[in-house]
Amino acid sequence: MQGMGKTERGEQGRDIDLTSLRSTMPASGPLQGGSASSLNMNLYATKKTAAEGMLDIALFLANITHMKTVIEQGAGYRYYAAVLTLISFSLALQIVAGILIIIIARRDLNEEANQKRLDSLNNTLTITIFLVFVTNIFITVFGMERTGLFARMHF
């Protein structure tokens, strides 16, 4: 691989562009002689929280779509009340999780006074997301209709 920067011969005899390789590494840290303690934990936690928030929004929208489908099928659907209740419960839990994510993201993890509270909020968020996960498993199980191959098979 030929580049604008300095190159060296790789293990298999190919040229390696050290300039482009260097751009993928962190600017400072253990690889460049820095220490691992220079990692900004607040930035890491904020990015992690933002990613959780985006996943929560995606699941929220999927549950709303599922709820719309169940409502359109009407009360004649076998598990209508159960699925509607589970979806509503899941949506409520997701709203709580979203609020917790916002609260956690707005606090500074580097401040000693916030760390214990943020740890407690993070544990609460983890439990809430686990409950959302379990609830959505039940939604999936009750929301399945017998169509295609499985409709012809009698278990």
Quote the Cα angle for 46-52-58, to 5°: 140
Q: Identify whether 15 is part of a domain.
A: no
Q: Identify whether 121 is part of a domain.
A: yes
Quote the number of domains for the chain.
1
Quote the Cα angle for 66-144-81, to 5°: 60
pLDDT score for 33: 44
Q: Identify whether 14 is part of a domain.
A: no
Please say whether the beta carbons of 92 and 63 come within 8 A. Answer: no
Q: Identify whether 38 is part of a domain.
A: no
- Domain hosting 90: range is 44-145
Q: Identify whether 152 is part of a domain.
A: no
Q: What is the pLDDT along the chain (155 residues), one digit of tens a residue?
A: 444 444 444 455 555 544 444 444 445 444 444 455 566 666 776 777 777 777 778 888 888 988 888 888 888 878 889 999 999 999 999 999 989 988 888 887 778 888 889 889 989 999 999 999 999 999 988 876 654 444 444 44
pLDDT score for 101: 86
pLDDT score for 14: 55
Q: CA 13 → CA 4, 78, 115, distances in Å?
A: 19, 66, 50
Q: How far apart (Å, rounded) are the C-alpha atoms in residues 86 and 136?
A: 8
pLDDT score for 15: 53
Q: Identify whether 24 is part of a domain.
A: no
Q: Identify whether 75 is part of a domain.
A: yes
pLDDT score for 39: 62
Question: Which amino acid appears at position 8 of this protein?
Answer: E
Q: Identify whether 140 is part of a domain.
A: yes
The pTM of the full predicted model, rounded to 2 decimals, is: 0.62
